[in-house]
Chains A and B, each alone.
Chain A
Amino acid sequence: MTNSLLFGISIFVYFFSMVLYVSYLAFRSESLGKVATFVLLAGVGVETAAIFLRWYESYQMGIGRAPLTNLYESLVFFALTIAVVYLIMERKFGIKTAGAFVTPFPFLIMAYASLNPNEIQPLVPALQSNWLISHVVTCFIGYAAFAVSFGVSFLYLFKVRAERGPAKSKKGDTLLAYLPESDLLDEVGYKTIAIGFPLLTIGIITGAFWANVAWGTYWSWDPKETWSLIVWLIYAAYLHARITKGWKGKKAALLSIVGFSATLFCYLGVNLILSGLHSYGGAS
């Protein structure tokens, strides 16, 4: 299958972009930074081609469906959206040093995806719906925005902690000075959530609408739905605290990290751990 070859190449490209972003942080050379961005863009290009090729190949196999329907396909799409959202934020806010904290995601997620079965399987009747694309795309761009906010918040905490710490060696100081202003990091952490939250909201609503068409109930408190609501509630709390009470800095960064942990659990944990009473199991 040609699409898996392209996906394989994109893993390597993402790996190189991660190495470049980390070296950019270590050596602080502008030209390294430019190459890092370029390589990440190339990774996005290769992966986008791979996704469209997979779509096309599914038609050739007589199945014909968007490549957004199983764990493998959602993982590769997640990696792509994280890279894209990050590139947009980098361009808009010039926070290239945050790349070292965000680009490990696309690489690690692609590497994890490659461990999962990747045959193009036909769709069960419940997934044969026009709602599939809008539901999955909105949810995953939302998740990706939360991932970028997580990376930026992490960098924020790292920077604030280092600044407050005891006097560092000269090398450490120059590195710190090279990082974006902590206010800017705080702002970008918020802005990405401001992008992710509306998209998650639309994702939950399209999911509810679809569930109502397919199963006759828009909300059934199943673990996936409930966890998506948990994620939504956490970010809603974040936004209220920030907008109304002016929560900034450390508290906001921590809440963003909690929010993304819940997002990851909603996405992966629910599928891998909460598949049922039996997997939880055990009298205690």
Chain B
Amino acid sequence: MPEDTKKKEKQTNIVDTIWDFFTSLKLVITLLLLLSVLSVAGTVIEQNKPIQEYYRFFKPETVELFSKLGLLDMYHSWWFTSCLALLALNILACTMERYPFIVRGMRRQSVVLDEKLEAGLTNLATIKYTLPAETVESRVTAIAGKNFPARPVITEAAGAKHLFYEKGRYSRLAFFLTHLSVLVIFIGAITGSLAGFKGYVNINEGETISSIPARKGANKDLNFSVKCNTFQVDFYPNGAPKDYRSDLSVIRDGKEVLRKTIRVNDPLDYEGITFYQSSYGRLPNAVTFEMRGRGGVSLGNVSAPFGTQVDVPGGGIKIEVLDYREHFHLSDGSEAGPAYGVNIIRPAAAPEGIWISEPKPEMNRYGEYSFVVKDARFINYTGLQVNKDPGVWLVWTGSLILVAGIMMAFFMSHKKFWIRIGKDKKGQVVVTAGGMTNKNKHAFAGEVKKLVDGFREVS
């Protein structure tokens, strides 16, 4: 054998081996079970928590190991994604492998019930009649027509009349629907993660925003702005929230182009960007502190608007209210009521942040200063999840196809049924009939039996 051919043969062998690997049932089942076992890990180790949380529950070296293995964000890890990619390749290869068989199965093959076909039918029945051929034909086709609504293919061959009935031919496509739909869903998910965007924004009542802080990466600038006109929340008698809603306006070039009250389960959609009611809260608009100096001597009141640096009288320092917690927890876990996050700015020094508790003024010391909260005015804000997902329609399309495919696969089958009306040597009318199906053979055998029993009763 020349070297060339040998080489070629070897190559084809490798290709064949790879192809066999990707189309093997073993791979499908291994992948399905492997993916389910791997997924368990991600439900046992909570995913995507702030790293400090893990250190509270695991040893530092365990956290490092988990982090290295990608176990803290495992559904996006290279090995989990590879398994999904392998599954996609597997589906694609199996679909290609199956394609010719399915097409062949759908092609209308033998419309004539000949000896070769007869040999392949397990439920073949032969019935002799004393009636004329026309009568037999009209009665037998009437019975068969009730079971097979589509008109039969009629062929005259070898001195006999052959009728071919068929039902559910397209159910053979179920294989493509169920398998390709999964790929469509994958493509939708990939599109969403590549071209989409997920963010979260708080808007104070009466305020307008035109960019969204993204979960990952830079801020997303909108080419319109969104105003929260009002925010309202209703409670049940037991104190649980019953309904919360934001009255939003979409403003473009200074004009309101859309206005909608959104609630949980009823978002606002504008130019492919969706605003979901996610949470709510309130922030202090302005806080008044009584400042005390050395020995508890009052330095007078300071009124600090949120996010603005204010001079402290006679102190040479500035303060700025930057944060607020409705229920502030101390490091020992006890609650210290509402607290204000304040930055203290000394000249020529980095600002220092402290929490100022409203109900516990004795805790609010900073160097020689102490703070007493005298008054606070609040403003409501609405918390919005903001998404753009250009792949989501593919996910829903894939889902619909998947359900349709599964229904077809389980509840429909390709049924074929043949009737031959001929005469034997004595000139007596003979009907030969039998059927074949690709699925649920037991139920179809009953169907055929019922038809044949009907034929026998023709007299």
A208 close to B399 (CB less than 8 A): yes
Cβ contacts B392-413/A at 8 Å (1 or 0 each): 1001100100110011001000
CB-CB under 8 A from B67, the residues of chain A are none
State A214–B265 Cα separation when bound (angstroms). 4
B264 close to A128 (CB less than 8 A): yes
Q: A201's contact among B236, B277, B402, by CB below 8 Å, is which?
A: B402
Report whether over half of chain A's contact residues are helix, strand or loop; otherwise say mixed.
Answer: helix
A214 close to B276 (CB less than 8 A): yes
Most A C-beta atoms less than 10 A away, residue of B43, B62, B392, B410: B43
Q: Which of B9-17, B46-54, B129-137, B250-258 contacts A (4 or more CB under 8 A)?
A: B46-54
CB-CB under 8 A from A216, the residues of chain B are 198, 267, 274, 276, 278, 385-387
State A245–B407 Cα separation when bound (angstroms). 21
B241 close to A217 (CB less than 8 A): no
Q: B44's contact among A129, A210, A233, A280, by CB below 8 Å, is which?
A: A280
Q: B35's contact among A126, A201, A214, A233, by CB below 8 Å, is which?
A: A233
CB-CB under 8 A from B420, the residues of chain A are none
Most B C-beta atoms less than 10 A away, residue of A125, A194, A236: A125
Total interface residues on B, using CB and 8 Å? 53
Chain B contacts with A in 83-136, Cβ cutoff 8 A: none
B43 close to A125 (CB less than 8 A): no
B265 close to A217 (CB less than 8 A): no
Indicate whether A272 reaches chain B with its CB closer than 8 angstroms.
no
For the A-B complex, the count of residue pairs with Cβ-Cβ distances under 8 Å equals: 124
- CB contact under 8 A between A126 and B36, given known A218-B392, A240-B25, A277-B49: no
CB-CB under 8 A from B242, the residues of chain A are 122, 125
- CB contact under 8 A between A124 and B241, given known A201-B406, A215-B276, A245-B25: yes
State A244–B58 Cα separation when bound (angstroms). 44
CB-CB under 8 A from A276, the residues of chain B are 46
Cβ contacts A193-235/B at 8 Å (1 or 0 each): 0100110011001001110111111110101001101100110
- Could you list some 18 contacts between A and B, CB below 8 A? A125-B264, A125-B277, A128-B265, A198-B406, A205-B402, A209-B399, A215-B278, A215-B385, A216-B198, A226-B39, A230-B36, A234-B33, A236-B32, A237-B29, A274-B43, A280-B46, A283-B57, A284-B62
User: Which residues in B have some Cβ–Cβ distance to A below 8 Å?
Assistant: 25, 28-29, 32-33, 35-36, 39-40, 42-44, 46-47, 49, 53-54, 57-59, 62, 75, 189, 198, 236, 238, 240-244, 263-267, 274, 276-278, 385-387, 392, 395-396, 399, 402-403, 406-407, 410, 442
Given contacts A122-B242, A126-B264, A274-B43, 5 further A-B contacts (CB under 8 A): A124-B240, A216-B386, A218-B395, A226-B39, A237-B28
User: Which residues in A have some Cβ–Cβ distance to B below 8 Å?
Assistant: 121-122, 124-126, 128-129, 187, 194, 197-198, 201-202, 205, 208-210, 212-219, 221, 223, 226-227, 229-230, 233-234, 236-237, 240-241, 244-245, 262, 270, 274, 276-278, 280-284
